[in-house]
Structure 1
C-alpha cells in the first residue's frame, strides 16, 4: 500500500509552482493542477477584466485621488461616486484573485499527497452543495453593497472634502482637506457652540422623551391591568387611538394647537387661567423643547402601553397569590414580580425606542422645523443632530460638514448598538448553538 501511494502520478507536483503561476495570471495554477474547467473560468474572468473594466477602474481611482483637475469640465462629485464604485470593484477583484491563489496552492498540496480528482459530474454536485449558501446570500450581499456600503463610503469620504455652496461642481472643483472639517467643528466658535448645544439637546431629548413615554405607558398599563378596573377593552381601545392616527397628522395638529398667536392651548387654556399673552411655545427654545417632548410622549405611549399590557397579562397569578400569602405589599409585588418580568420581556424593544428617538427627524421638523432660531448658532432651538444635518444639506448646502456630523452620529449609534448587542443573551450563547 505504501508503494502504491508513493507512486501516484502527482508525487512530484510542486505547490509553489502552482502558487506562482496563479499569481502571474489567474487560472494558470489551476491548469498546472489539471483542473482545466476551473482554470479556464479564472482565465476568462481576468481577460474580461483586462479588456473591459481596467481602464474604467483606473479612471475612477484617478478621480478618487484628484477629484478632478479642470474646473468647468471635471465634476468632482461624479468622480467621487465613480471612484467609490471603482474602489469596491477593486476590493471584489482582489478577493477573487486571492481565492484563485489559495485554491491553486491548496489543490496542489492535495494532489501531491495523493488526492484523486473527482469526475466532472461529481465535482459539480459537490460544488453546488458547498456553495449553495453563498449562492443564496449573494443577491442580498450585492444589494447591500449598493444600498448600504456604497452610500456609507461616499458619506465618509465626503467628510474629508470642502464640498459646500462655494465649492460646488462643475464651476468649482472639490478638494481633499483631510481633518480640517473636524477641526473646525471643535475650534471655530459658531460650529463649536452649535455642535455642543445640539449634541446636548439631542441627548436630553432622547433620554427625557423616551423615558417619559415609557413611564406613562407603564403606569397606564398597570392601572388598566388592575382587577378593580371595569370596561378594560374600551379603555385599551381609547389609549390605542393616538397610535392609530398617522404621526405626521398628529404633529401638524399639535403644531397648530401650540401656536403662540391663535393656538387653542394659549387661547382656550393658558390665557383664561393666567392671563397675559400666553406662553411663547414656538418662539422660545425652552418652551418649544417642552412642547416637542410632550407631543412625543403623546405619540409614543400607546405602543408602550400595548406592549406592557400584553406582558402584564402573561404574568402568572400564582406569583401574586404567593406574595399575598407572604404578606407582600403592592409596591413589593411591583418591585419583585411585575417590574423585573416586564423589563426582561421588553428591554430590547425599549432600547430601540431610545435609538429611534435619537434620530426622530419627523417630529422635530414637522412641529417647528427645528426652530426657533438661536443667536450665534446655525441650528434652531429644537434641532437635534439629524435635523441639523438636514438643514446643512438642503438649506445651506454645506455637504461636507453635514457628512462630518453624520459620521459622528453613526459612530455614536454604532458604539451604543454594539455594546447593547454584546450584552444580549443571544450573542453570548451564539457559539453554543
Structure 2
C-alpha cells in the first residue's frame, strides 16, 4: 500500500513537467527549455528574450509615437549669434518607416514567444511519458534533415516580408496622409487625413473624370492587348506547324526576334516608325495615296498604335508556348478526325484550340493582369500622350500604372498615387483570384 501511494505521488510530480515548463517559458523565453535540460536552446532563447525586452522597452514606444503623431517638431531656422542655422526637426516618412519596421519585428518576437511556450510544453509532455528530450545537436540534426525546406524558405520569406509586404503597408499608410509636393518632409510634418484623398478622388469632378476614363481605358487596353497577343501567337503557331511548311526552325527563330530585342529599343524604333511627320510608315502610306495618319498625336490612333506595338512584342511568347502544347497533342485525334472527314478548320476548332486553351488559360488570365500593369509599352511609346486638358496629370493613353507614376514621380501627388496603388492592388488581386479559381487547369491540379 505504501509503495502504491509513493507511486501516485511520483506520478503527480511527473505530471507537472509540461505545466511548469510552460509557465517558466511564459515568464521568460528559454526558462522552460532550461528546466527541460535543453541548456543550449534555453540560452539562445534567453538572448532572444533580452533582445525582445530591449525592443519593447526602448524602441517600440518611440515607434508607436512616430506612427501615431508622425512627428511634432518641424524643421526651422534659428538665429545663432548673427547667423541663422537650420535646425532639423522630425522626418515624418522616416518615423513611419521606423515604426513599421519596429512593429513588424515586435510581431516576430511575439510569434517566437508563443512558439517557445509550445515547445517547452511539448518537451515537458515527453518527459512525463518517460522520454528523453532531444539535445541541441539532435535538434539541429532534425531541422537539417526534416525541416531543411522550411529553413531555406525562411530567407526568401524574410525578403518578401520586408521588401514586399512592408512597402505595400507603407503605400497604404501614405494614402491616409497629406503627403504632396507642397507638403513634403522634412520641411513640413505630415498629418493623418483619413479618407480625404479617397473622397476627393471620387467627388471632385476633375479627379473623378480622370479616374473613370483612365480605368476604362486600362481595362480595354488589357483586354485587347491580351487577345491580340494570344490569338496572334496562335495563328503564327498554326502556320509554322503546318506539314507543308519547310525550315520550321528558321521561322520559329525569325518570329522570336521581336521578343529577343530589348523592349526599350523596340519601342524607340516603333516610336520613330510611327512618327506622324517623318515616320517611314506615313511615307509609305503617302506613296499609296492614303495620306498621313496621326499615329501618336490623335487619341484614337495613339491607342491603335499601342495595340499594334504590344502585339509585335507579345505574340512570340504565345507562339512558342502554343507550339510546345501542340506538340503534345496525340496524332491519333487528328487521324480519327481525318477518317470522319473533318476539315482543317474543324480540326483546329474541335481539337487544337480546346487542347491549347486548356493549358494556356491560366497564362492568358495572368497575361491580362500583367497587361493592366504594362508600364513599359505605354510609357516608352506614347508617355501617356496626347495630353488631355480635362484630366488631372494624365494623358489620353495613360493607364492606371502610368498615371500612378506621373502622380508620384513627376508631380509629387504621393497620397493620390497611393490611393491609385491601393485600387490597382484590389482590382488585380480580386480579378486574378476569381479567374484562377474558375480555371479548369487549376481545378484539376488541386483535385489531384
* Fold agreement, TM-score > 0.5: yes
CA distance in 2, matches of 1:197, 1:53: 48
Does the aligned pair in 2 maintain the 1:217–1:308 contact within 8 Å? Answer: yes
Deviations 1:395-424 (A, max 9, x none): 111111111111111122222232344345
Aligned to 1:81: 97
CA distance in 2, matches of 1:398, 1:308: 43
What's the CA shift for 1:126? 4.0
Does the aligned pair in 1 maintain the 2:17–2:127 contact within 8 Å? Answer: no
Q: Match for 2:220 among 181, 199, 204?
A: 204
Deviations 1:221-263 (A, max 9, x none): 2223223334444433432332232222121111112222222
Q: Match for 1:329 among 343, 351, 361?
A: 343
Is structure 2 residue 190 aligned with structure 1 residue 174? yes
CA 1:233–1:48: 2 relative to 1, 3 Å: closer
Q: Match for 1:419 among 420, 423, 434?
A: 434
CA distance in 2, matches of 1:357, 1:208: 9
Aligned to 1:254: 270
Aligned to 1:289: 303
CA 1:203–1:338: 2 relative to 1, 3 Å: same
User: Residues 187-202 of structure 1 correspond to what in structure 2 (within 5 A)?
Assistant: 187-202=203-218
Does the aligned pair in 2 maintain the 1:19–1:102 contact within 8 Å? Answer: yes
Q: Match for 2:53 among 47, 50, 53?
A: 50
CA distance in 1, matches of 2:54, 2:256: 62
CA 1:117–1:212: 2 relative to 1, 3 Å: closer
CA distance in 2, matches of 1:28, 1:82: 31
CA 1:246–1:165: 2 relative to 1, 3 Å: same
Q: Match for 2:368 among 343, 346, 354?
A: 354
CA 1:170–1:321: 2 relative to 1, 3 Å: same
Does the aligned pair in 2 maintain the 1:5–1:114 contact within 8 Å? Answer: no
Query: Which runs of 5 or more residues in structure 2 are unaligned?
Result: 76-88
What's the CA shift for 1:382? 0.6
Q: How many residues align?
A: 431
CA 1:42–1:375: 2 relative to 1, 3 Å: same
Does the aligned pair in 2 maintain the 1:10–1:111 contact within 8 Å? Answer: no
CA 1:30–1:427: 2 relative to 1, 3 Å: farther
What's the secondary structure of 1:295's corresponding residue? Answer: helix
RMSD of aligned Cα (Å): 2.8
What's the CA shift for 1:199? 0.7
CA distance in 1, matches of 2:4, 2:148: 37
User: Residues 18-167 of structure 1 correspond to what in structure 2 (within 5 A)?
Assistant: 18-51=21-54, 54-72=57-75, 73-118=89-134, 121-126=137-142, 128-167=144-183
Aligned to 1:376: 390
What's the secondary structure of 2:29's corresponding residue? Answer: coil
Deviations 1:200-222 (A, max 9, x none): 10110011122012222212222
**Larger CA deviation: 84-93 vs 228-237:** 228-237
CA 1:10–1:245: 2 relative to 1, 3 Å: same
TM-score, normalised on structure 2?
0.87
